[in-house]
Amino acid sequence: MASHRAKKRFGQNFLVDDSVIHSLVNAIGPQRDDRILEIGPGLGAMTLPLLARVNQLEVIEIDRDLIARWHARNLEQLTIHECDALRFDFRADVTVDTDARPRRLVGNLPYNISTPLIFHVLEQADAVQDMHFMLQKEVIDRLCASCGDRQYGRLAVMVQSRCQTQKLLEIPAESFSPAPKVTSAFVRLEPLSEPKVPDTIQDLFARLVQQAFAQPRKTIANNLREQLSANALTKLEIDPGSRPQSISIEQLIRITQQLSNTAPD
Ligand code: SAM
């Protein structure tokens, strides 16, 4: 098959280190009957070892040249979705089998869409069993940060209110071709059986979190001055003089519940 030139606009950095690929597939731990969906199979670095371990595999790919290569292989076990993963309906049941078990998502994600893609998936978290994603190490450190850490902020709060996060491995740039300018890492995200934020206040929570971290060096009272008074924060047992970095997810939920109780109907 003709060689493929990596396309920057699709964030193509192909994995080329077999021992890294082996560790990633082992960390995913595929079982024969799993409903695995890979985002961006590229030239197949993870796809082929996964295909060897499962009965069926779905992939989503945006690059028409790569899609043509997959069609040419004519692999019976493979379902190819030719589309943008940011628009994919993960709840849709479009596989050859009709069972509606949650999918396991995997992917060495194009870095330019990784954060919006995670938010897109989280909106459909009930349709997902778990996610194993390769991302920039810096993004994974922010996803997995605990309250009080330097990297703790909106991303950690929004993701951890819906998922358990676990950083699994760091991957050096030389494991890819072309090599990216940054270090990468592999993360496992598992949707919680009970999301921490009730559906009814999810939108309010998202807006509040954005506001709470808008100016990380200012106090929480200052960031939220248009939403509630310093006094109201104290009543919720939150120190109005704290920086947003030290406000836990539970405290942010408490503030949201208070706002929702006092909002005019
Ligand atoms: N999985 C391969 C590997 O590890 O070598 C390729 C990984 S490469 C970093 C990202 C892959 O995602 C490419 O195949 C790229 O064409 C595909 N891609 C980029 N943007 C996409 C999008 N919006 N939707 C679906 N696939 C996309």
Instruction: Give me the domains of the chain, ranges plus CATH numbers.
Output: 8-191 (3.40.50.150), 199-262 (1.10.8.100)
Return the bridge partners of 89, or none.
none
**CA-based end-to-end distance of the chain:** 63
Index of the ligand 1 atom closest to the CA of residue 111: 9
Q: What is the spatial distance between Cα 42 and Cα 108, in angstroms, rounded to a whole number?
A: 9
Counting ligand 1 atoms within 8 A of each CB, the residue from 10, 112, 174 with the most, and so the one to mutate, is: 10
- Kindly report the backbone phi and psi dihedral angles of residue 78, in degrees, each rounded to the nearest multiple of 5, phi listed first: -105, 130
Cross-strand partners of 79: 58
Mean pLDDT, 10 residues at a time, over the chain (265 residues)? Answer: 89 97 98 96 98 97 98 96 96 63 95 94 93 98 98 97 97 97 97 93 97 97 96 96 97 96 70
Please give the pLDDT value at position 85. 97
Cα–Cα distance measured from residue 101 to residue 130, given in angstroms and rounded to the nearest whole number: 12
* Residue 98: per-residue pLDDT: 57
**171: three-class secondary structure by DSSP:** strand
Pocket of ligand 1 from Cβ distances under 6 Å: 10-15, 39-43, 45-46, 60-63, 66, 84-86, 108, 110, 113
Q: Quick one: CA dihedral 244, 263, 119, 166, positive or negative?
A: positive
**Those residues with Cβ within 8 angstroms of residue 222's Cβ, 6 or more apart along the chain or in another chain:** 215
